[in-house]
Amino acid sequence: MNFDIFSSPQAWLSALLIFSLRVGDMSLDTLRVLFVVRGKKTIAWVLGFFQSMLFVIAITTVLSQLDNPLNVLGYASGFATGNVLGMLIEERLAVGHIQLMIFSTNRGAAICDALRIAGFGYSAFSSAIQKGGGPFFDETKQFDVAKKTIFT
């Protein structure tokens, strides 16, 4: 192994470039998957386009300079960091889904109506309680927390 590579500024800059490309690539990939799951085709397409461009540049750089082990380190650490950064960005944007379960013995129908009027989807079911109770409803809802809130 050529240990002179560790003292070369060019080798370190190459590894830093690859690290940066992979952080960007994986951050976009994490967000792209969220938009694919939500059915947002246009946003997913744009994110996928730029994500794949960054990936091709990063992997080409690594494969063209296999004599530099710092490139592999930059690639792997950029991949891991990009996943975490993508998750942090998603938390800030709040583009994911959340599930809310409500159990109500007497206001289930009213809650369902309020959710429907507010534009939220929900699942409701009733069940008889064996020991003298009445029916209850379970409204399970996945909603976009970035655009709407139930409690205003």
Count of C-beta atoms within a 10 Å radius of residue 82: 24
What is the Cα–Cα distance from 149 to 82, expressed in whole angstroms?
A: 30
Are 76 and 51 part of one and the same domain?
yes
Are 130 and 73 part of one and the same domain?
no
Q: What is the pLDDT of residue 115?
A: 80
How do the residues of the chain divide into helix, strand and coil, expressed in percent and rounded to 5?
A: 60, 15, 25
Are 84 and 137 part of one and the same domain?
no
What is the Cα–Cα distance from 127 to 129, expressed in whole angstroms?
A: 6
Are 84 and 109 part of one and the same domain?
no
User: In which band, very low, low, confident or very high, does the pLDDT at 47 lie, cut at 50, 70 and 90?
Assistant: very high
Q: What is the pLDDT of residue 15?
A: 94
**How much is the average pLDDT of 19-46?**
93
Which has more confidence, 65 or 133?
65
Q: Which of 81, 25, 65 is nearest to 48 (CA)?
A: 25
The number of distinct structural domains making up the chain is: 2
Q: What is the pLDDT of residue 127?
A: 64
Are 13 and 55 part of one and the same domain?
yes
User: In which band, very low, low, confident or very high, does the pLDDT at 22 lie, cut at 50, 70 and 90?
Assistant: very high
Structural domain span for residue 68: 3-93
User: In which band, very low, low, confident or very high, does the pLDDT at 13 lie, cut at 50, 70 and 90?
Assistant: very high
107 residue type, one letter: R
Are 67 and 101 part of one and the same domain?
no
Are 101 and 66 part of one and the same domain?
no
133 residue type, one letter: G
Are 32 and 87 part of one and the same domain?
yes
Task: Quickly tell me which residue has 């951050």 as its tokens.
Answer: 27
- Mean pLDDT, rounded, of the chain: 80
Are 39 and 9 part of one and the same domain?
yes
Tell me if 149 is assigned to some domain: no
User: Phi, psi (5° rounding) for residue 105?
Assistant: -90, -15
